[in-house]
Chains A and B, each alone.
Chain A
Amino acid sequence: MNATEQIVAKARELLESGTVECVIGYERATDGVNARPLFVYQAEEAGKLIFDQTCAHNLAKYLLNRKGKATAIVAKPCDVRAVNLLINEHQVERDKVLIIGVVCPGMVETKWGRVSEKLRQACELCREHTPVVYDFLVGEPGDEEAAVEYPDVARMEALSIEERRAFWEEQFSRCIRCYACRQACPGCYCSECFAERLDPLWVGIRIAPSESWIWNTMRAFHLAGRCIGCNQCERVCPMNIPLSLLNRKLEKETLELFGYRAGVDAETPAPFATFRKDEKLEVGE
């Protein structure tokens, strides 16, 4: 059985037995090329589910709309780490989620109505193919995963500070503050975002470089030690702003300083949720 067939069979079984009320997965979008999220409530509908290299969405965010209700979710390794993040942060209950983990071949770019063979950038850098946790696994678990590396971040770090400042000013100046990056992110679930506060007004409503600068800086920092690297933010950005370069810098820092990678499990407290009294951090030295 291929991945799609396994998912369909599992979804049908779960809905028929009443183990879950809903299965969140993917179906083919109306363009016939891309995938889109599908919520299956009836066993008869399970046949619509698909899985292939176009299933780029991280569906974990939808679990936030199903709090306390038994739900199964089709999840790639990065998505599974998002589920762990939400469990860790008490947004989702582990025993209400059934994870249909998928061994991931990497997602490909779809452009101009065609599926290309080119892996998405995040998938090219990703070293994880088997989900860290699952209730049911689709595909064969691979060998041990290689260590994460940050060649893209290292290239930025190698630039002079003036070059970096100019680079980000140019990038952020294109931001139209649609907030799609936030809407797509599984870690951005505050009911009131600082960007929408009116008093105090942290981010002014006008589209100006300085307002986009504070938005992008804080959007990324709010994910420090929490970002699981699914790259949904960058995928949905209509202005092609390389948000992964910000997220991955923070990921690299928190990994180096605290040996922490978000979502690897659902128990270890996030770096900003804890501390060690005797740690040396070169702050207040």
Chain B
Amino acid sequence: MAVGHEPRIVGFLCNWCSYAGADVAGTSRITYPPNIRIIRVPCSGRVDPLLIVKSFQMGADGVLVAGCHPGDCHYSEGNYHARRRLAVLRPFLEYLGIERERLRVEWVSASEGRRFSQVVSSFTEQLRKLEPRKGAEVEVSS
């Protein structure tokens, strides 16, 4: 691990559960590492694998996709679809040389502020143990 390297995480949080959960963490003054850059999406089902692959192309160390628990999706089934796509994307990225730990999927409800903070903390720690990402993917087009 490079000295002083801070992992950069792109977090796609669904509006109805996980984004609200992150909000609860904030309003409850529960701290979590600033390594995550949050992008609010309507539903975990909106997280086109292209968004994840683009994040990695641009040098993200990790990508978090967080949505409502199965059964709780605001649109009934978005997270079931997300689950299938991500279950295939993860081994595929690993096959291309991106460690499977770098893509994390979590179900976080609107009340689970503490859990959200734990997820971000443990994810950040996990990424610290890996090398910073470099190589072709990091070279960014402006």
Which A residues contact B (CB, under 8 angstroms)? 156-157, 161-162, 164-169, 172-173, 194, 201-202, 204, 206, 208-211, 213-214, 217-218, 220-221, 224-225, 246, 249-250, 253-254, 257-258, 271-272, 275-277, 279, 281-284
Kindly state the separation between the CA atoms of A165 and B95 in the bound complex, as whole angstroms: 8
Say yes or no: A284 contacts B92, CB within 8 Å: no
A173-B136, A214-B53, A214-B54 known; A164 vs B141 contact (CB < 8 Å): no
The residue from A246, A250, A275 contacting B81, defined by CB atoms under 8 A apart: A275
Q: Is B90 an interface residue (CB 8 A)?
A: yes
Q: Is B107 an interface residue (CB 8 A)?
A: yes
Counting from the closest, the 9 A-B pairs by CB-CB distance are A165-B97, A209-B136, A204-B141, A275-B80, A281-B87, A284-B105, A214-B57, A210-B139, A283-B105
Say yes or no: B136 contacts A217, CB within 8 Å: no
* Mask of B126-141 contacts with A, CB within 8 angstroms, 1/0: 0000000001111111
Interface secondary structure of A, over-half rule? helix
Kindly state the separation between the CA atoms of A213 and B133 in the bound complex, as whole angstroms: 14
Say yes or no: A169 contacts B83, CB within 8 Å: no
Kindly state the separation between the CA atoms of A76 and B92 in the bound complex, as whole angstroms: 29
Kindly state the separation between the CA atoms of A272 and B77 in the bound complex, as whole angstroms: 12
Q: Is B33 an interface residue (CB 8 A)?
A: no
A161-B97, A209-B136, A277-B71 known; A253 vs B92 contact (CB < 8 Å): yes
Chain B contacts for A166, CB-based, 8 A: 97
Say yes or no: B136 contacts A224, CB within 8 Å: no
Which B residues contact A (CB, under 8 angstroms)? 49-50, 53-54, 57, 67, 70-71, 77, 79-81, 83-99, 105-107, 135-141
Say yes or no: B92 contacts A224, CB within 8 Å: yes
Say yes or no: B95 contacts A157, CB within 8 Å: yes
Chain B contacts for A220, CB-based, 8 A: 92
Number of A-B contacts (CB under 8 A): 108
Say yes or no: B97 contacts A162, CB within 8 Å: yes
Say yes or no: B97 contacts A257, CB within 8 Å: no
Kindly state the separation between the CA atoms of A281 and B102 in the bound complex, as whole angstroms: 17
20 example contacts (A-B, Cβ-Cβ < 8 A) are as follows: A156-B95, A165-B98, A169-B97, A169-B135, A202-B54, A204-B141, A206-B141, A210-B138, A213-B137, A214-B54, A214-B57, A220-B92, A224-B92, A225-B88, A253-B91, A253-B92, A257-B87, A272-B85, A275-B80, A284-B106
A169-B136, A172-B136, A284-B106 known; A257 vs B80 contact (CB < 8 Å): no
A213-B136, A275-B83 known; A257 vs B88 contact (CB < 8 Å): yes
A209-B139, A281-B87 known; A218 vs B50 contact (CB < 8 Å): yes
Say yes or no: B88 contacts A254, CB within 8 Å: yes
